[in-house]
Each structure stands twice: as C-alpha cells, then as structure tokens.
Amino acid sequence: MTDQAQPSRPGVLSVVQRVVEFFRRRARATGGGGTKAIEKQIASGKLTARDRIRLILDAGTFHEYDLFVEHKAVDFNMAGKDLAADGVVTGTVGGHPVCIFAQDFTVAGGSLGLAHARKITKIMDHALKLCIPLIGINDSGGARIQEGVNSLAGYGEIFYRNTLASGVIPQISVILGPCAGGAVYSPALTDFVFVVEKISRMFITGPEVIKTVLGEEISMEDLGGARVHTEITGNAHFYAATELECFQQIKKLFTFIPWNNRKKADAFPPRPPKPAYDLDKVIPPDSRQPFDVRDVIRGVCDDSDLIEVHENWAANIVCGFARIQGQTVGVVANQPLVLAGVLDVDSSDKAARFIRFCDAFNIPLLTFVDLPGYLPGVDQEHAGVIRHGAKLLYAYSEASVPKITVILRKAYGGGYIAMCSRHLGADFVFAWPSAEIAVMGPEGAANIIFRKEITEAADPNEMRKQKVAEYTEMFANPYRAAAEGHIDAVITPSETREYVIHAMEISISKVDARPTKKHGVPPF
C-alpha cells in the first residue's frame, strides 16, 4: 500500500494538498468582490448574490455551477484581473426544480462580459433542456465596457435564449439593483418581473444622459424605480417593500405555475372559499355603483386565495392566479371599482399578455365580466386603443385551454365580445340574473333609438326616462343572449363555484384543433 499523505514524485501534490488547494480556490471564488465590496452591498440595503439564491430556494438544495469560470479580456489592463466567478452565480435546485442565476454586484459591479454572459446562457440552455423554470436575479452596472462588442454579443445571446424559452419554461426576472441599457431587455422578454422598493432600477437611458441630451432632470427613482414600473409602465408584475417579501412572492407564484409547457401546475387539496365572501351580497342594487370584483373571485376560488399579477397597473382589469378544487386557473376580471371597469390601452395589453401565459402553460381561463365598454378619449385613440384592444381579442381567440366566462353585470357592446364571449371561443358562458348583455347601456341606447320621440315630446326628460325604462326592461338582462344560445346558463351567484368546478372537470380532455401555421401575427 502506498502512503497517500506522501507524494510519490517531487512536485506532485498529495490528495490532501489537492483538497486544501480546492478549498482555497473555492473560498476565493465564493468570496465575491471581497469584504469591502460586500460590506458596501449590504450597507446599500441589498443582499449578496448567493444569499439571495439561498433565500429563494429550499434550504440546502443549491448546487453551484461554473464557479471557476474566468474572463479572457485583455484590453484596458483586464489581463490577469481576477473576477471571482466572473460576477455571476449559476446553479440548480431540487424540490420544485429551477435553474437560477444571480449577478454579483460586488464583482466588477456585476458588469456583463462575454464569460459572464456565457455562464448565464449555459444555465439557460440547461433549463430549456431539462424543461424546468429559470429565475434570473439582475444586479448589474451594465455592459463591461472594457470587453467592447463582446459584452453586446453576450446580451444578444441571452435575449435569443429568452425568446427560445418563451412559452416552453416559465422565466422569472428579479430586479435587485440596477438593470440599465440593453440589460433591461432580458427581463422584458421573460414572463414575470419582480421589483423591490428603493433597490430596483430599470431604464434604457439613465438620468445623466437624459439631462445632457434633453435637459430634463429626474431622479433614478422617479425615472425607473420599483413604483414607476409597477404603476406607470407595467414593466414589472410584482412589487415588494423588501427583498424577503419579494422572495415570498416568488415562492408563492411557483405553487401556481407548471414546470414547463407539457405539464400542468401542481394540484393542491381542494378547499372551499372563506365564508366571509358571500356572493349573494357582493353586487350593489344599481349597476352604476361599484364593487370590488376581487370579492367575487375570492368567493369562488379555493381558500379565497388570489395572487394578482400587475396589481397596481391598469387596475381596471384584475389578472391573477387562483385555484378551483385544487387546480390552478388564470382569472381575468373587469374591475368596476376602477374606471368603472372599462377596457383601455393598458388593461387590454395587461390581460392579453396574461392570457397568453396561461394558454402557453395549460392553465384554464376563468373570466368575470362587468364593463360598460371602452374608455373614450383622444389620448386613448392616439395611443392606439384599436391596436392594443385587438391584442385582447387575439389572445382570447387564440387560447385553446378551457375558457370559462361568468357575466356578472354589464356586458355592453365591444366589451362584451372582447371579454371571452362565446363568439371568441369560450367553452362555457354563464350569466348571473343581474347580467345585462346588450349593445350598449340603456341611457345611451334610448338616446339614439328614440331620439326623435324624445326631442319631439312635450316633456323630453319624462319621455327619455320612459324610453330608458322600456329599453332596460327589454334588453338589460341575460335572457336575450340566453335565447340566442350565446350563454349556456343563467345561474345564481351562489351557484357559481359549482358551475365553474363542473366546467373544469368536464373540459379536462378538451381538444381544440386549429389550422396549421408557423405562428400567428398578433397585433404587437
């Protein structure tokens, strides 16, 4: 037997020495940008890349890849410069399996050079091949300028893979630091973007450039902070006050979505809605008065548990995930509480994107309808409400997952058609007795249809009232549409959950044959 502690030849390391050397190298690589840079990261209210990964994933499940990747840049004194793990951490996790990468701001400001990008594209390829979701944590100063066009190449290779993976595996971006210039387009191509107050910053051109070129002064927070992207631009889907809250949101979202487009989301034990949400009492007597449509959703879904997407953007439509008898559904609902629930540029855009995600990942769609129509205005017309509104029609018509629609109150005109009507291929359309399925509201319709009678009457106001009442009586109900078979059943509010469960159960083997095509050309 040979003595393993003694090298057999001079200059050859023993096994123990090799292990010690490995530990030394690993400690240096996982040490990120060093104590000073890490202290600075923490002082700015941010966690380190590896801590973020550990906090998102189940304890002890992270396996790091490519720890020893080194950059090859030589220009601008970059040769020989040691960048621990090249500023990005990649790896996988068991449990609900995911691939994950986190940019390490403590190493060269998390700047993206070719080796850094290739670590990301390698883990992206891995996720796509293994058919498991990808989480990307962005915290980077941008392109590594010293590497020139190679860092641009890196971004392009990431965007290409984001696009290939779109609709195959869920992709999630977490913005935990700056994410500026070209870097913003990777998150923009992914399914869900998470931002955190005072930490996330996203913009194409920063405040300094804007000041130089345009003379406009604005702070980073006002230009591209977390609130801006969750309330104004719609670039971010989830907002959190702290990183820890953000990680909880990510974990919760993962319980609702499948690993890939060939699987269904995990089923959970069925749970009834909470008794506090009494559907028979939600709707006010006058259809012009508002209510919170989320109370209807909570009165129908398991445990009254709804996770909203884009909660603070285009709040006139509610999109989110919930469960019915333990199965995930994607819920889309007009919100009468905000702008009377009208469709407009942003709400159409928001719902269309959400519907396409659900359809790509085998999540049935449950739509609740209560809207007076489209938002009028020069700003809406000039902002392209035609083009954006068409996205919603396209998304609903294109979706081949089970589509269940419940008309709660107003379903007027184009809005009725757009909100997953029978005509766009809804599999089940139910209406509450309070439903008003008509070409427009009674006041507007009476003023057009009976214009002559009203203007020529001795008392036009009295005549108008009378005609509005006539129209309401004849058309502001679900029975005209029911008589045509445009809706399948008129149901009471308290029967809704039972009917939705029924619809989901019998559509489990739904087949929806479509014409063969390479892909459609949606209006985006």
Partner 1 sequence: MLEDLKKFHLDDTEYETRLSRMFERRKPWIAPNPRIMAALIPGVVTTLSVHAGQKVRRGDPILILEAMKMKNPVVALREGTIHSVRVSPGQMVTKGEAMVEFE
End-to-end CA, the chain = 72
Site for partner 1 in 447-486 (CB under 8 A): 447
* Contact call for residue 377 and partner 1 (CB under 8 A): yes
DSSP 172-219: EEEE-SEEEGGGGHHHHHSSEEEEETTT-EEESS-HHHHHHHH-----
Sign of CA dihedral 426, 234, 131, 522: positive
Pairing of strands 327-334, 317-324: antiparallel
Q: How far is 293 from 369, CA to CA, in rounded Å?
A: 9
* Contact call for residue 178 and partner 1 (CB under 8 A): no
Q: Which is nearer to partner 1, 377 or 384 (CB)?
A: 377
Site stretch for partner 1 (CB under 8 A), options 45-53, 301-309, 333-341, 400-408: 333-341
* Contact call for residue 414 and partner 1 (CB under 8 A): no
* Contact call for residue 182 and partner 1 (CB under 8 A): no
CB 260 within 8 A of CB 168: yes
* Closest CB 443 distance from partner 1, rounded Å: 4
* Contact call for residue 346 and partner 1 (CB under 8 A): yes
Pairing of strands 327-334, 365-371: parallel
Please tell me the count of residues contacting partner 1 according to CB under 8 A.
Answer: 37
3-state secondary structure of 299: helix
Site for partner 1 in 207-226 (CB under 8 A): 213-216
Q: Looking at the DSSP assignment, which residues form a beta bridge with residue 406?
A: 368, 430
* Contact call for residue 441 and partner 1 (CB under 8 A): yes
* Closest CB 316 distance from partner 1, rounded Å: 7
List the one residue from 34, 95, 326, 376 that touches partner 1 (CB under 8 A). 376
Q: Which is nearer to partner 1, 289 or 516 (CB)?
A: 289
Angle between helices 496-506 and 293-300 (to 10 degrees): 60
List the one residue from 292, 453, 488, 495 that touches partner 1 (CB under 8 A). 292
Other Cβ atoms less than 10 A from the Cβ of 64: the count is 16
List the one residue from 31, 148, 156, 290 that touches partner 1 (CB under 8 A). 290
* Contact call for residue 425 and partner 1 (CB under 8 A): no
Q: Which is nearer to partner 1, 413 or 493 (CB)?
A: 413
Q: Which two tokens stand for residue 176?
A: 């935990």
* Closest CB 396 distance from partner 1, rounded Å: 22
Question: Binding residues for partner 1, per CB under 8 A?
Answer: 213-216, 231-232, 288-292, 314-316, 336-342, 346, 372-373, 375-379, 382, 412, 440-444, 447
